[in-house]
Amino acid sequence: MSETFAVAGAGLIGRAWAIVFARAGARVRLWDGAPAALDAAIPQLRANLDDLEAQGLIASAAEVAGRVETVPTLAAALDGAAWMQECIAEQVAPKAALFEEADRLAEPEAILASSSSAITASRFTESLPGRLRCLVAHPVNPPYLVPLVELCPSPWTDKAVVARARAVMEGVGMVPVAVNREVDGFVLNRLQGALLAEAFKLVADGTISADDLDKTVKDGLGLRWSFMGPFETIDLNAPAGVADYCARYGPFYERLQAEQAPVLAWDPALVARIEADRRQHLPAEGLAERQVWRDRRLMALLRHKRAATEEHGG
């Protein structure tokens, strides 16, 4: 891949995007407003790459790292770059300032993407001459292990830009989905929010313990979800497919929705109960180590999914 990618912000997500682009063979210029963050970025990124190499997910950490260079200014990062991935603080004002500068400095055809988790693109691009080339490309942490990216255009983002963005993301091995209108939480966090809302309610009223609720997902629903979505799932859960499923179970789910509708506040007492339960299973001092464990499990799952897709198709 001959393109150059500019990554603005060398924190957790910026470094992870740098791995995604460099792993695909592209050159990456990584910049951060804090020189200390930039200095620390390459060794941190190298440690992640070494892990990927050890797990058999890339051939050579050194080769991938060799395609990532840190640069002292945003202008240097953008020079000749076809894509900017912004990964700075999750606040409107800094994002607006950075996009204003990037729109002035970037190549005319470059796409300007933000990693924002929850700020829609219209909130920091409205006044820009090049606002039609700006959008949110929301990753899941870490994007080099979880390939989904939500492409979330503003009302003025050019449709052709969204189409190009989809092709670029596919080209670097990501799985893009288009979120067709600006909506709070995009789609992934709306789905996660719906599940969490019900999970908190069921624990709050004593229907189930937090630990058993986690088992319901990880040893139940989640097993299928790692390779099929909810519509694909119900399509196979009635003999004649999705319409058959809806005819059989639709009224039941409608009844549930009415029951589930009231909002339950995640008040301090409820959060303290869940916190106490979690800390019993995982003491606070074990959290960081457990994150490493999670990433290793994700790597193993990724390896399995790759092999299974080759054997059984996607």
Ligand X SMILES: NC(=O)c1ccc[n+]([C@@H]2O[C@H](COP(=O)([O-])OP(=O)(O)OC[C@H]3O[C@@H](n4cnc5c(N)ncnc54)[C@H](O)[C@@H]3O)[C@@H](O)[C@H]2O)c1
Question: Candidates 88-96, 280-288, 294-302, 304-312 — which segment interacts with ligand X by CB under 6 A?
Answer: 88-96
Q: Are 92 and 126 in contact (CB under 8 A)?
A: no
The reply to whether 175 sits near ligand X by the rule CB under 6 A is no
The least CB distance from residue 89 to ligand X, in Å, is 4
Among 44, 117, 209, 260, binds ligand X (CB under 6 A): 117
Q: Total residues at the site for ligand X (CB under 6 A)?
A: 22
CA atoms within 13 A on the CB side of 46: 10
Which amino acid belongs to residue 271? V
Cα separation values, 198 from 183, 191, 203, 263, 266, Å:
21, 11, 9, 9, 11
The reply to whether 221 sits near ligand X by the rule CB under 6 A is no
User: Which CB, 94 or 185, lies closer to ligand X?
Assistant: 94
Which amino acid belongs to residue 269? A
Letters for 141-170 (x = contact with ligand X by CB under 6 A, - = none) are x-----------------------------
User: Which CB, 9 or 153, lies closer to ligand X?
Assistant: 9
Residue nearest to ligand X (CB): 11
CA atoms within 13 A on the CB side of 16: 19
Residue corresponding to tokens 């912000």: 9
The least CB distance from residue 185 to ligand X, in Å, is 12
The reply to whether 88 sits near ligand X by the rule CB under 6 A is yes
Q: How far apart are CA 197 and CA 203, in angstroms?
A: 10
Among 33, 80, 130, 185, binds ligand X (CB under 6 A): 33
Residue 6 has φ and ψ, to the nearest 5°, of -100, 130
User: Which CB, 4 or 70, lies closer to ligand X?
Assistant: 70
Which amino acid belongs to residue 41? A
The least CB distance from residue 47 to ligand X, in Å, is 15
DSSP 3-state of 219: helix
Q: How far apart are CA 309 and CA 314, in angstroms?
A: 5
Q: Tell whether omega for the bond before 142 is within 30 degrees of 0, i.e. cis.
A: yes
Handedness of CA 155, 77, 169, 186 (dihedral sign): negative
Among 3, 4, 6, 14, binds ligand X (CB under 6 A): 14
The reply to whether 295 sits near ligand X by the rule CB under 6 A is no
The reply to whether 32 sits near ligand X by the rule CB under 6 A is yes
User: Which CB, 48 or 234, lies closer to ligand X?
Assistant: 48
The least CB distance from residue 88 to ligand X, in Å, is 4
Binding interface with ligand X (CB under 6 A): 9-14, 32-34, 37, 87-90, 94, 98, 115-117, 138-139, 141
